[in-house]
Homo-oligomer: A and B are copies of this chain.
């Protein structure tokens, strides 16, 4: 019983907008997120509801069921594995891969995903640092703290970045800051909370604007 492309996209959007199933999602929010109209959302919501993938109470928003969550996580797993492939193997920049992965995530072949996962060395995070659900749909999240809450003398590594704005990603690229890289905090300015850090082996100054969007290990 496999899902259509549209069904997968709705399910994924609901899962994300509900913040991993914790909040209910409103019709208009979903319409905005999917660049469609509220009427279309209502139609699709009814279908997913009949299939027991989401729970829906008229006028009060929707959320994924356990079954829907499983399916959403499979799509997310595929999306993030493909993004990892595009960046690591095909040499795409982080900010170019989203649209392509958006297409690739709908390819149906469990064997393909298994083999891709193996080929990539069973990665646990994608190029943005977002966790990749495993084959059973489990997400293993390492604790991650925004860099702006870190004190002088810290040593650790970047695990993820929050903002996915292209200009921001390009800036990070330039200073060599990407998930997996080691990072040290040399000094922190009390006045504006700007920091001097070592990332890779380069010393750089970063503003609070930037540091709050970089997530690091404990």
Contacts and interface: CB of A to CB of B under 8 A. Distances in A.
Contacts of A104: 104, 107
B109 A90 contact: no
A187 B103 CA distance: 52
Interface stretch (A112-120, A170-178, A202-210): A112-120
Contacts of A107: 100, 103-104
A99 B96 CA distance: 27
A108 interface: yes
A100 B91 CA distance: 23
Work out how many copies of this chain go into the complex.
Answer: 2
A100 B90 contact: no
A92 B115 contact: yes
A89 interface: yes
A57 interface: no
A136 interface: no
Interface in A30-52: none
A111 interface: yes
A111 B90 CA distance: 10
Question: Could you say which interface size class chain A belongs to?
Answer: 10 to 19
Contacts of A119: 89-91
A90 B89 CA distance: 12
B103 A115 contact: no
A116 B107 CA distance: 17
Contacts of A111: 92, 96
A96 B112 CA distance: 10
A112 B100 contact: yes
A111 B112 CA distance: 22
Nearest to A115: B90
Interface of A: 86, 89-92, 96, 99-100, 103-104, 107-109, 111-112, 115-116, 119
21 contacts: A86-B112, A89-B89, A89-B119, A90-B112, A90-B115, A90-B116, A90-B119, A91-B115, A91-B119, A92-B111, A92-B115, A96-B111, A99-B109, A100-B107, A100-B109, A100-B112, A103-B107, A103-B108, A103-B109, A104-B104, A104-B107
